[in-house]
A and B are shown apart, each in its own frame.
Chain A
């Protein structure tokens, strides 16, 4: 059974960089795309971006200039960096596996709350 686990600081200061890691176990990171998705308090789900295991990426244009997603296949991990954060970036951040044909997010991490505050 594939499992995803997010990790990283729960508190980030405004203007700094939010950095999270997602560790995949029970399966290989190869041959799939992997996404970061977030949910701000009281809001719906927002797609941040995805990365194919080869390293090709696509980001939500609303965050494009601030976000970087990378993958380290040797560690079965993907990472999220979001720079110049503000209080609006306070959210629960999820990593999820994107399966194609037809598309769906079939495995999700439990999510990690990141609060942006000084």
Chain B
């Protein structure tokens, strides 16, 4: 059972805004910054958001991250067909001294 809880699936139509949640605890999300990764089919994960809300260069501003308490969210606005992918949240875990990942959310663009 993943330490971080994500909904297994999410969906939206082109142009819509969707949000994916990630729930943790005070020892992980409550204490450390959250990253979000996108994994397109048959490709390596790609860093979308780090430090809760920062975007690496090249990531469109349609993707935004936020955090409150022990939960984090990834919002995707202006949904596009190419956004159809698996999305994973990740956070540093004190006890592990390493990262833990959510179970992933499969986003379908209808």
Q: Taking beta carbons and an 8 Å cutoff, which residues of A are in contact with B?
A: 43-47, 49-50, 58, 60-61, 94, 96, 102-106, 108-111
Contacts and interface: CB of A to CB of B under 8 A. Distances in A.
A73 B91 CA distance: 28
B43 A45 contact: no
Contact of A45 (B46, B50, B54, B101): B101
A91 to B, nearest CB: 13
B104 A103 contact: no
Contacts of A109: 44
Contacts of A94: 44-45
Contacts of A50: 98
Given A105-B90, A108-B45, 14 more contacts: A45-B37, A45-B104, A47-B101, A50-B98, A94-B44, A94-B45, A102-B54, A103-B50, A103-B99, A104-B47, A105-B99, A106-B56, A108-B46, A111-B44
30 contacts: A44-B2, A44-B101, A44-B103, A44-B104, A45-B90, A45-B101, A45-B104, A47-B100, A47-B101, A58-B97, A58-B98, A60-B98, A96-B45, A102-B33, A102-B50, A102-B51, A102-B54, A103-B33, A103-B35, A103-B99, A104-B35, A104-B50, A105-B37, A105-B45, A105-B47, A106-B50, A106-B56, A108-B46, A109-B44, A110-B43
Interface string B48-76: 00110010100000000000000000000
Contacts of A46: 101
Nearest to B36: A104
A52 B96 CA distance: 16
Contacts of B101: 44-47
Interface string B71-110: 0000000000000000010101000111111111000000
Contact of B98 (A45, A49, A108): A49
